[in-house]
Amino acid sequence: MKIVFYGTPDFAATSLKRIYNEGFDIVGVVTAPDKPAGRGQKIQMSAVKIVAQELNLPISQPTNLKAESFMNQLIDWNPDLGVVIAFRMLPEKVWNFPSLGTVNLHASLLPDYRGAAPIQHAIINGEPFTGVSTFFLKHAIDTGDIIDQLKVEIPKSMHAGSLHDKLMIEGSSLMVTTLNKINKFGLDTPTTPQNNKGQSTKFAPKINREFCEINSESNTIEAYNKIRGLSPYPGAWMESPWGNVKIFDSENQLGRSIVERGFQIENKDLILGFHDGALLIKELQIPGKSRMSARDFLNGLAKKN
We find that the CATH architecture of domain 2-188 is: 3-Layer(aba) Sandwich (3.40)
Per-residue model confidence (pLDDT) at position 103:
98
Domain map of the chain by residue range? 2-188, 210-304
Distances from the Cα of 142 to the Cαs of 86, 96, 114, 200, 207, in angstroms?
A: 12, 15, 6, 12, 18
Residues facing 35 on adjacent strands: 44
Per-residue model confidence (pLDDT) at position 248:
98
Whether 116 contacts 205, CB under 8 Å: yes
> Does 232 sit behind a cis peptide bond, omega within 30 degrees of 0 on the bond before it?
yes
Between CA 282 and CA 268 the distance in angstroms is 12
Q: What is the mean pLDDT of each run of 10 residues along the chain (305 residues)?
A: 98 98 98 86 93 98 96 97 96 97 97 96 98 94 94 97 98 98 97 77 92 93 97 96 96 81 90 93 95 93 71
Between CA 44 and CA 232 the distance in angstroms is 21
C-alpha count within 13 angstroms, C-beta hemisphere, residue 146: 18
Between CA 138 and CA 301 the distance in angstroms is 55
Torsion of CA 148, 154, 159, 162, to 10 degrees: -50
Residues in the chain, overall count: 305
Pair type for strands 269-274 and 262-266: antiparallel
Helical spans, DSSP H, in 78-114: 92-95
Whether 57 contacts 31, CB under 8 Å: no
Radius of gyration over every alpha carbon of the chain, rounded to an integer in angstroms: 22
**What are the two backbone dihedrals, phi and then psi, of residue 282, each rounded to the nearest 5 degrees?**
-115, -30
Residues facing 236 on adjacent strands: 247
Between CA 163 and CA 305 the distance in angstroms is 40
Per-residue model confidence (pLDDT) at position 259:
67
**What are the two backbone dihedrals, phi and then psi, of residue 53, each rounded to the nearest 5 degrees?**
-65, -40
- DSSP label at residue 22: T
Whether 5 contacts 102, CB under 8 Å: no
Amino acid at the residue 122: A
Fold classified for 210-304: Methionyl-tRNA Fmet Formyltransferase; Chain A, domain 2 (3.10.25)
For residue 130, what are the contacts with CB-CB under 8 A and spacing of at least 6?
A: 107, 108, 109, 113, 118, 119, 122, 151, 152, 154, 163, 167
pTM of the model: 0.94
Of the candidates 172, 202, 225, the residue with the CA atom closest to the CA atom of residue 24:
172
For residue 93, what are the contacts with CB-CB under 8 A and spacing of at least 6?
A: 66, 71
**Fold matches, 2-188 and 210-304:** no
**What are the two backbone dihedrals, phi and then psi, of residue 243, each rounded to the nearest 5 degrees?**
100, -170
Between CA 123 and CA 121 the distance in angstroms is 5
